[in-house]
Amino acid sequence: WLQDRGFSPRRIGLVPERFCVAGCLPGNGGGLSLLFNSHMDTSIPDDATLRLRPAEKSDRLAWVDGEYIIGKGVVNDKGPMAAFMMAADAIRRAGTPLKGDIVLTMVPGEIDQEPVDEFTATRYLSKEVGSRYLVSRGVVADYALVAEGTDFNLGWAVAGKTCFKISVYGKSVYVPFMPPRSEPSRSPNAIIKMVPVLSALEDWAARYERENSVDTPGGRVIPKANIGAIRAGSPSHISSSAKACSIYMDVRLAPGADPLAIRESLRKVVKDCGVEGEVELYTYRKAQVAQGVEPLVDAVGWAHTMLGTEKPGMAAPAYSSMWRDHLVFIEAGIPAITYGPSGSTGGARPYSMKIEDMVRAAQSYALIALNICSRTKEP
């Protein structure tokens, strides 16, 4: 599509099967450039889930239903991607002269996954193969707009994240020799030993969220924690107690958070439960708040005025408290925001987006690009 319309696209990949795409509508020179970004990967059920229940239709397909277009990939994140592609093509077809470049980028690796244990092949890489790799290969601009759903509001704060593997150890004891069930504290089974740890971690997570939420100029960050996986024993050999049980925990970070202090706090949780265990930190990504975004924020406000819609407000805290790729551009010193249409991931119409909102998004993106890329870049 980009090639047919003269955007001179390039494939830029850390690995061939997971490549980024970058295209450009060049300006005449001397102006500010604007980079649009969205991700091509979409969250789908993992193999373990699919063994228990089939995938839903919206996991793989997209379809029109009245005033809506429905599909997990549409909402996250190819609907906004289509909108900025159409916006750039409208400017191209109109022949509107620009001073600065419009850069279009589409990346893998935005959906949360982190290599751990035996899951270390390139298929498990996330941020390393996407926007971060693209930036390292020189695909940059004066400003960046990450096109994702924000209900047409603005955000330029992004939570960081840590991932922890928390392991508890026991002994392998054959079933007939297990101690009486009336004394669970004596159980050699690491799975049973993990039970009080799980309860204590849930209490810890509630305190962590409450004590670490913070308001920033780019939005409110409410860092949450989630126990997302548990591993122990072997389903084909359950006649002995498990020697080890591990849980995998995602802990989001507010700006300024110390991952080592969090690890120490989690170690204390395990110790206070009176079990033998350890806590491994295997992922760290620092939170970011953009600086110097005022021209881009003004451009979004101007676009709303031109379209006769309300001025944008700040995006809901959930959008500032998750990973989005504007973190990567902020990290690189590029003023970046996230901004896009409404998109439901649940409720009566799961994974749905109004077609009129996609059209409005395309109109907004076109106006924002015209505003920024018509400005002269100061020396």
Contact of 133 with 12, CB cutoff 8 Å: yes
Q: Which residues are catalytic?
A: 41, 110
Task: Report the candidate in 69, 105, 30, 23 with the shortest Cα–Cα distance to residue 329.
Answer: 105
Cβ contacts of 223 within 8 Å, gap of 6 or more: 159, 208, 209, 212, 213, 251, 252, 253, 254, 257, 321
First to last CA, the chain: 35
CA distance 279 to 340: 38
Cβ contacts of 138 within 8 Å, gap of 6 or more: none
How far, in whole angstroms, is CA 276 from its chain's centroid?
34
CA distance 296 to 371: 9
Task: Report the candidate in 130, 155, 175, 295 with the shortest Cα–Cα distance to residue 216.
Answer: 155
How far, in whole angstroms, is CA 359 from its chain's centroid?
24
Contact of 145 with 35, CB cutoff 8 Å: yes
Task: Report the candidate in 221, 198, 196 with the shortest Cα–Cα distance to residue 211.
Answer: 221
How far CA 36 is from CA of 25, 67, 141, 304, 340, in Å, comes to 11, 26, 9, 18, 11
The full length of the chain comes to: 379
Cβ contacts of 237 within 8 Å, gap of 6 or more: none
**249 is written with which tokens?**
């925990």
Alpha helices in 95-146 (DSSP H): 131-136
User: What is the three-class DSSP state of 367?
Assistant: helix
